[in-house]
Structure 1
Amino acid sequence: CTRAETRRAVEAAAMAGKAWREMTPYERQVPLRKTADLIRQRVDEIALALTTEQGKPLAEARLEVLANATFFEWYAEEATRVYGEIVPSHFRNKRLFIFHQPIGVCAMISPWNFPLFLQGRKIAPALAAGNTCVCRPSTVTPLNLIKLFECMQDAGVPAGVANLVVGPASECMEEFYTNTAVRQISFSGSTEVGKEIMRRSSEQVKKIGIELGGHAPFIAFPDFGAEAAAKFAALSKFRNAGQSCISASRFYVQEAIYEDFCAAVVGEAKALVLGNGLDEGVTMGPVTEASHREKTLRMIQDAVDKGAKVLHGGRVPEDKPTGYYVEPTILTDV
C-alpha cells in the first residue's frame, strides 16, 4: 500500500467508528465471538500460512492461531465490564462521574516473529472497547493476517472497522504520524523504532502503546536443579529458532551446577529436530530471512574470535544447504 492508500484506510476507520462506538458492548461482542469461532474452525488453514511464510514448526503455529481465538473471545466478554466510577464530591450540589470512551482510530504495527499473536492481542481489545483500527503487518509475514481479517469479515465485523494495509513502513508510518484521525499508535518491535514512534507521536500528543525488544538474563541456581534449569533454558532460547523478544539473551549459572547445566543444555539442543516446519516431528524451523541467518552466523563468529567456546552447533547444517537454517548453538566463556 502507498501512503495514499493508507490514508484511505484511516478515513474508512474514522467513518466506520461513528457507528461502531455507538453500539452497545453486547452488540459489538457478537461479531468478535463469531471471529473466535471461525479462527478455531480454520486453525489448520491459518497455521499452514503462518508456518509457510514465517518458518516455525506447525505445532507452534497452531498454538499461535488458537491463542488469537482466545483473545477475541476474552475481550468480547470483557467489553461488557468496562465499568465507570462515581467519585465522592466536596460539594453537595455536584456529582463526579468517571466513564470510559473509545479513543478512536488506532494504528497497529506488528513484527514478523509472532505476527498473528501480536496483532490479535491489539485488535481484539481495541474493537471490543469501541475503537476502529488500521493494521500494518510486516511485509515478510502478511498472509496469516489476511486470513485473520477474512475471519473478521465473515463474522460480520462492519466494513471499515478493521483495516489492513501492507506496504513500505516509511509510507504507512508517515500517514499514521501526521493524520489527525489516528489517535493511538500501538507497536511491537525494536527499541530503535519505538523511540522514533515516541518522538513523532509527540507532535500531535498521540497515545502510544509500545512493546520493545527484550534483553533478558537467565539465572540458574542449584536449588532448582541443573537438568530442570536446562530444559527451561532450551525452551526459552530455541523457541521459534530464537526469534522471540522474551528469549533469554545470556545465561548465568552458579558454579556448583555449571558443568552439569552445560551438559544438560547441550543434550537438550541435540534433541531438537531441525527442519521444515511443515514436516512431522520438527521442533525447530529455519530463521525467517537470509539476513537473519547471516547476522546469527556473524555473531557466533564474533564470539568465537573473542574467546568463546562452541559446545554445540554454530554452523549451517551440512544436510540443509538450502533454506535459512542455523544449528542450535551453545557457547560458553562469552
Structure 2
Amino acid sequence: MTNDLQELLASVPTGLFINGEFVDAESGSTFEVINPSTGTALAQVAAASASDAQRGFDAVCQAQAEWAATPARERSEILHRTYEYLLEHEDELTLLQSAELGRALADSRAEVAYGAEFFRWFAEEAVRIRGDYRHAPGGDARLVTVRQPVGPCLAITPWNFPLAMGARKIAPALAAGCTIAIKPASKTPLTMLFLAQALREAGLPKGLLSVLPTADSANVSALLEDPRLRKFTFTGSTQVGQELAAQASKRSINTSLELGGNAPYVVFEDADIDAAAKAVAVAKMRGAGQVCIAANRFLVQESIKDEFVERVVKVIQEFTLGPGTAESSDYGPLSGKDQVDKVTELVDDALDHGAQRLLGDSLPEGLDNGGYYYPATVLTNVGEGARIHSEEIFGPVVVVDTFSDEGEALAKANDTQFGLAAYVFTQDMDRALRVAEGIEAGMVAVNKGGLSNAAAPFGGVKESGLGREGGFEGIDEYLETKFIALPL
C-alpha cells in the first residue's frame, strides 16, 4: 500500500453518519472493506444494526419539516459548495474509489467529475421548482398546483459507481427539500462516507442525511416498514430491486428503480467501423465492464463481422490489466471473487455452447497476488441457449453475434426482458433514428460508446426499472403535486 493511500485512508471516516456526526455502531460491530487489486483489507467500517438504521432514519424524519421549509436558495448553495468541495478533493476521491473498487484511476477520475456534476445540476434545479395557476375550462374556479417535497427518503446504492450513484439520489432529494437515509454497498462504503464528510463541510445541517453502511442489508431495508418513509430509491440487481419494490408497494411508497441491463451494441455495415471498434473502449471496457449500461450483446451486420471483430481485438489488446491504483492500468480487477466466479461461469457456458474465444485465454504474468482479475475476452459464434446471451455479464467480455438486415437487428436487440441502454452505429441518420426509436430501451447512444450526463434523464424500461434520475426529470422523483381549488 502506498504512503499516499495510507494517509488517505487514515483521514476517511469509517463510522455511521447520523445527525451530522460519524459514530460507532451501538454494538461496536464492524466489517472489512477489501481491496480487489490485492484481496487484502483496506479498512474496518462500522456495521449498522437494525437499531442503528432506525436511529439514522429517526434523525432524517425529525429534520424533514424544517428542511422542507428552508428557502430553495439556501438548499442550492449547500449543493453548489458540495460540488466545489468534490472537485477540490478530486485526487483523494479518485484514489479512494480505485482502492476500494479496483477500478483504473482514469475511470475513477471521470466518475468524480460525473458525480460532482449532479450537485451542480440540482443546485440549479432547486431554485426552479414551480407550480401552476390557471382557470378551469368552465370558468367557475381557479386551479392552483404546487410542488412539495415527498418526504423522508431511503436510498440503496450499488458498488460499481460509489460516488455517482449516491450523488444522483442525494442531490435531487436535498434540492427538493427531502431528507434521506442511504445504505452504500458493503464493498464500497468509504466513498459514500467521504461524500457525507463533503456535505458536512459544505454546511449541510444536522439530521438531513444518514449514511448507514452494513454487512447485512436487511438491517436497513427493514425501514421499508416505517410508516414515515415516503420515498424509496434503489439501484442494483433486478431480483433484489423487484423484491424490495414489492415490499414498498404494500404501503404505496413512491418508488424508483434502476435495475439490470442487457444492452445491445448494433453495428450496421455502413458504420464507421474504426469508430465503432474504438467506442468499445468506453461501452465495454470502462470499469472492466462492471457498468449497468455496458454493451452486453454486440450485434454486427454479417458483411462486416470479421473486420469488426479483428479491429475490436486490436483495440482491447492495447489495454493493460493491473491494480486499480497503478498509473499504468487501463482496467483493473473485478470487484470480488463473486464477480470473477459469475463471469467465469458465463464464459465457460458459452464455450460449452460452441463459442470461439479469440482473446482472453489467460491472465498477464504477475497478477497472481490474490486480486480478483479477469482477462479481457472476445467470443464469437456462441450457440443458442448460452446464458451469456440473456444474462448481464458485468465483466470485460465482448460477445459478437450477427444479423442480416435492419428488421433482424431490431428483433435481436429487443429479445430481452431488459431495456436500460442501447448503442447504434450507422452513418445513415434516418436509420439511426428509426432504430433508436424502435429499440426498447430507456437510453440510446448513436455513434458513441457513452451516454451518461447529469443533465439527461437516466433510466430504463421493461425490467430495467422505473423512473428517471438526472436531467430536468430527476427532481420530479422527490416531489409531489398538490392541487388547490379556489373560487373564481
Shorter chain as denominator, the TM-score bin is over 0.9
* Equivalent position SS for 1:95: strand
Q: Within 2, Cα distance between the matches of 1:22 and 1:6?
A: 25
Which deviates more, 23-32 or 203-212?
A: 23-32
**Match for 1:263: what amino acid?**
E
**1:300-319 to 2 correspondence within 5 Å?**
300-319=347-366
Whichever structure has more strand as a proportion of its residues is: 2
Q: Within 2, Cα distance between the matches of 1:230 and 1:114?
A: 25
- Paired position in structure 2 for 1:74: 121
How far off its partner does 1:90 sit? 4.0
Q: Within 1, Cα distance between the matches of 2:140 and 2:267?
A: 61
Which deviates more, 271-280 or 223-232?
A: 223-232
- Paired position in structure 2 for 1:271: 318
**Match for 1:157: what amino acid?**
L
- Paired position in structure 2 for 1:326: 374
Asked if structure 1 preserves the Cα contact closer than 8 Å seen for 2:116 and 2:164, the reply is no
How far off its partner does 1:171 sit? 1.4
Does the alignment pair 1:251 with 2:262?
Answer: no
One of 155, 166, 178 as aligned partner of 2:213? 166
One of 244, 249, 272 as aligned partner of 1:225? 272
- Paired position in structure 1 for 2:25: none
One of 170, 176, 182 as aligned partner of 1:123? 170
How far off its partner does 1:92 sit? 4.3
* Equivalent position SS for 1:311: strand
- Paired position in structure 1 for 2:198: 151
* Equivalent position SS for 1:282: coil
* Equivalent position SS for 1:214: coil
One of 124, 136, 161 as aligned partner of 1:89? 136
Which deviates more, 322-331 or 92-101?
A: 92-101
One of 142, 156, 160 as aligned partner of 1:109? 156
Q: Within 2, Cα distance between the matches of 1:105 and 1:84?
A: 21
Cα gap change, 1:82/1:218 in structure 2, threshold over 3 Å: closer, same or farther?
A: same
Q: Percent identity?
A: 37
**Match for 1:82: what amino acid?**
I
Which deviates more, 135-144 or 85-94?
A: 85-94
Asked if structure 2 preserves the Cα contact closer than 8 Å seen for 1:317 and 1:326, the reply is no
Asked if structure 2 preserves the Cα contact closer than 8 Å seen for 1:297 and 1:314, the reply is no
How far off its partner does 1:91 sit? 5.0
Q: Within 1, Cα distance between the matches of 2:155 and 2:348?
A: 36
- Paired position in structure 1 for 2:427: none
How far off its partner does 1:283 sit? 0.8
Q: Within 2, Cα distance between the matches of 1:187 and 1:316?
A: 35
Asked if structure 1 preserves the Cα contact closer than 8 Å seen for 2:263 and 2:293, the reply is yes
**1:39-58 to 2 correspondence within 5 Å?**
39-58=86-105
How far off its partner does 1:306 sit? 1.4
TM-superposition CA deviations, 1:269-312 (whole Å, max 9, x none): 10001111211131111101011112212221111121000001
**Match for 2:304: what amino acid?**
I
How far off its partner does 1:88 sit? 2.4
**Match for 1:106: what amino acid?**
C
* Equivalent position SS for 2:153: strand
How many residues are treated as equivalent by the alignment? 333
Asked if structure 2 preserves the Cα contact closer than 8 Å seen for 1:310 and 1:329, the reply is yes
Q: Within 2, Cα distance between the matches of 1:227 and 1:283?
A: 20
One of 235, 252, 262 as aligned partner of 1:188? 235
Q: TM-score, normalised by structure 1?
A: 0.97
Cα gap change, 1:66/1:233 in structure 2, threshold over 3 Å: closer, same or farther?
A: closer
- Paired position in structure 2 for 1:199: 246
Q: Within 1, Cα distance between the matches of 2:143 and 2:58?
A: 35
Asked if structure 2 preserves the Cα contact closer than 8 Å seen for 1:87 and 1:98, the reply is no
The runs of at least 4 consecutive aligned structure 1 residues that moved more than 3 Å come to 90-93, 314-318
**Match for 2:218: what amino acid?**
S
One of 338, 341, 357 as aligned partner of 1:291? 338
Q: Within 1, Cα distance between the matches of 2:106 and 2:152?
A: 34
Q: Within 1, Cα distance between the matches of 2:254 and 2:228?
A: 12
Asked if structure 2 preserves the Cα contact closer than 8 Å seen for 1:227 and 1:260, the reply is no
TM-superposition CA deviations, 1:115-164 (whole Å, max 9, x none): 21111011001101100000100010000111011000011100110110
- Paired position in structure 1 for 2:108: 61
CA RMSD of aligned residues (A): 1.2
Q: Within 2, Cα distance between the matches of 1:229 and 1:30?
A: 41
One of 66, 80, 86 as aligned partner of 1:19? 66
* Equivalent position SS for 1:182: coil
TM-superposition CA deviations, 1:83-106 (whole Å, max 9, x none): 111132145452110110001111
Asked if structure 1 preserves the Cα contact closer than 8 Å seen for 2:135 and 2:141, the reply is no
How far off its partner does 1:205 sit? 0.4
Which deviates more, 260-269 or 189-198?
A: 189-198
Q: Within 1, Cα distance between the matches of 2:364 and 2:267?
A: 29
* Equivalent position SS for 2:141: coil
Q: Within 2, Cα distance between the matches of 1:195 and 1:315?
A: 37
Q: Within 2, Cα distance between the matches of 1:132 and 1:319?
A: 47
* Equivalent position SS for 2:230: strand
One of 44, 49, 61 as aligned partner of 1:2? 49
Which deviates more, 306-315 or 119-128?
A: 306-315
**Match for 1:328: what amino acid?**
A
Q: TM-score, normalised by structure 2?
A: 0.67
